[in-house]
Amino acid sequence: MHKTSSRLLALLSLLQTRPSAAWSGEDLAGRLGITPRTVRRDMDRLRELGYPITAVKGPSGGYRLDAGAHLPPLLFDDDQAVALTIALQTAAAGTTLAEDAARALATIRQVMPPRLRHRMDTLRITAVRPPGSGDAPPADAHVLRDLSTAVHTHAELRFDYATDGTAAAGQRRRVQPHHLVTRRGRWYLLAWDLDRANWRTFRVDRVQPRTPTGPRFTPRELPAGDVAAFVTSRFRGSDGTTTDWPCRGEVVLGLPATAVAPFARDGIVEELGPDRCRLTLGSWSWTALAATIGSFDTDIEVIGPPGLNDAFARLAARCAHAARKPIPS
């Protein structure tokens, strides 16, 4: 690559690090080891290539790279070319964007110089869906876009959700979207369910958004504050056990397993007889776990640990106190 082209690439990279702020001519000259006059000439060259460079008035002058109406020629160094190739070959896995990603990669490859084109051609990567991802359809790119926009703008969402993958089983949901995440080849929406007053994860391939979106909201703090840890804790491990819950307990319920399983979230339900089952369930606190188990409205035998027994005792005392409290006139 010629010295001038290398310098233009370095100059463009610096401008892109401050998308909303200006660089002074002196700062750019110092970073690149050139004179302010050379900086001005290089800015003119970038403008000729189609980059919208704005000159900022001031004591020493400045420059800012603005968003343009047209995509100008792109400049990539070796590491960027490698990163772009890997991203386009793998990021579209689990979505309907695979064909678009392949066309984008082919278009970019055509304008690459031979040296970078060779580096891109040596990277042949196949994204394989991991075991356990099943035959679920990929997430629709338009749905991902709509959900991402709602997450970014903090807008409430209404959508139909197919709980078993069929339209006939769809449920109307109202949520405050928090994050879009991927796990084991699938996309999920992490959101606060307004009707159920709890955090939920929704498979994006089963979401059909409704328009328009709802009002803006102030995002809630996610339990534990870590998206990755929270989402991981919502799923079972490869051995069938729940993972990463801070509090996990085991009880025996006076209900058949078939009556408990649909409402046990990611718990493990084991049949003990026609009217008894063992439930292993996790939560972010012992009190929340006790309250969840109590919602089954049946006899409960706590197997352990002691923290769950204590939580039931505290919850029982609070409920008894609430029952004695007179209703204000």
What pLDDT score does 238 carry?
A: 42
Say if residue 277 is in the same domain as residue 252.
Answer: yes
- CA separation, residue 218 to residues 18, 104, 188, 221, 273 (Å): 28, 37, 21, 10, 47
Task: Report yes or no on 179 lying in a domain.
Answer: yes
Task: Report yes or no on 113 lying in a domain.
Answer: yes
Buried b (16+ CB within 10 A) or exposed e, 189-217: bbbbebeeeebbbbbbbbbebeeebeeee
Q: What is the pLDDT along the chain (329 residues), one digit of tens a residue?
A: 346 677 887 887 788 777 667 888 888 888 888 888 898 898 888 888 778 888 887 665 688 887 654 555 566 666 777 777 777 766 555 566 666 777 777 777 776 777 777 777 776 655 555 544 455 567 787 888 888 889 889 999 999 998 655 544 568 899 999 988 876 667 888 899 998 888 888 888 889 999 888 899 999 988 766 676 677 666 654 444 444 567 888 899 988 877 777 677 667 777 777 788 888 888 878 888 888 888 888 889 999 889 899 999 998 888 888 877 666 65
Say if residue 8 is in the same domain as residue 55.
Answer: yes
User: d(Cα 201, Cα 178) in Å, to the nearest integer?
Assistant: 10
User: d(Cα 295, Cα 213) in Å, to the nearest integer?
Assistant: 32
**Opening angle at CA 195, ends 161 and 174, nearest 5:** 45
What pLDDT score does 308 carry?
A: 92
For residue 251, the SS3 value is strand
Cα 15–chain centre separation: 28
CATH number, domain containing residue 11:
1.10.10.10
Task: Report yes or no on 271 lying in a domain.
Answer: yes
**Closest residue by Cα to residue 286 from 315, 264, 265:** 315
Q: How many domains does the chain have?
A: 4
Say if residue 219 is in the same domain as residue 255.
Answer: no
The count of C-alpha atoms lying within 13 angstroms of the C-alpha of 227, restricted to the half-sphere facing its C-beta, is: 13
For residue 98, what are its two tokens?
Answer: 């695979």
User: d(Cα 92, Cα 224) in Å, to the nearest integer?
Assistant: 30
Task: Report yes or no on 242 lying in a domain.
Answer: no
What pLDDT score does 137 carry?
A: 67
Task: Report yes or no on 61 lying in a domain.
Answer: yes
For residue 142, what are its two tokens?
Answer: 């338009």
- What's the alpha-carbon Rg for the chain, to the nearest Å? 28
Say if residue 257 is in the same domain as residue 315.
Answer: yes
Of 121, 153, 187, which marks where a domain is finished?
121
Say if residue 147 is in the same domain as residue 113.
Answer: no
Say if residue 294 is in the same domain as residue 315.
Answer: yes
Say if residue 146 is in the same domain as residue 202.
Answer: yes
Show the DSSP H helices in the chain as ranges.
Answer: 3-16, 25-32, 36-48, 78-90, 98-110, 114-121, 141-153, 227-233, 257-260, 286-294, 306-324
Task: Report yes or no on 277 lying in a domain.
Answer: yes
For residue 57, the SS3 value is coil
Residues shown for the chain: 329
Pair 214, 156: CB distance under 8 Å: yes
Task: Report yes or no on 235 lying in a domain.
Answer: no
Task: Report yes or no on 73 lying in a domain.
Answer: no
Say if residue 164 is in the same domain as residue 218.
Answer: yes
Pair 21, 28: CB distance under 8 Å: no
Rounded to two decimals, the pTM is 0.48
Say if residue 82 is in the same domain as residue 55.
Answer: no
Domain membership of residue 173 as a residue range: 141-228
DSSP at 255: S
CATH number, domain containing residue 267:
3.30.70
Q: What is the largest CA-CA distance in the chain?
A: 87
Cis, bond preceding 52 (omega within 30 deg of 0): no
Pair 159, 67: CB distance under 8 Å: no
**Closest residue by Cα to residue 101 from 86, 82, 81, 122:** 86
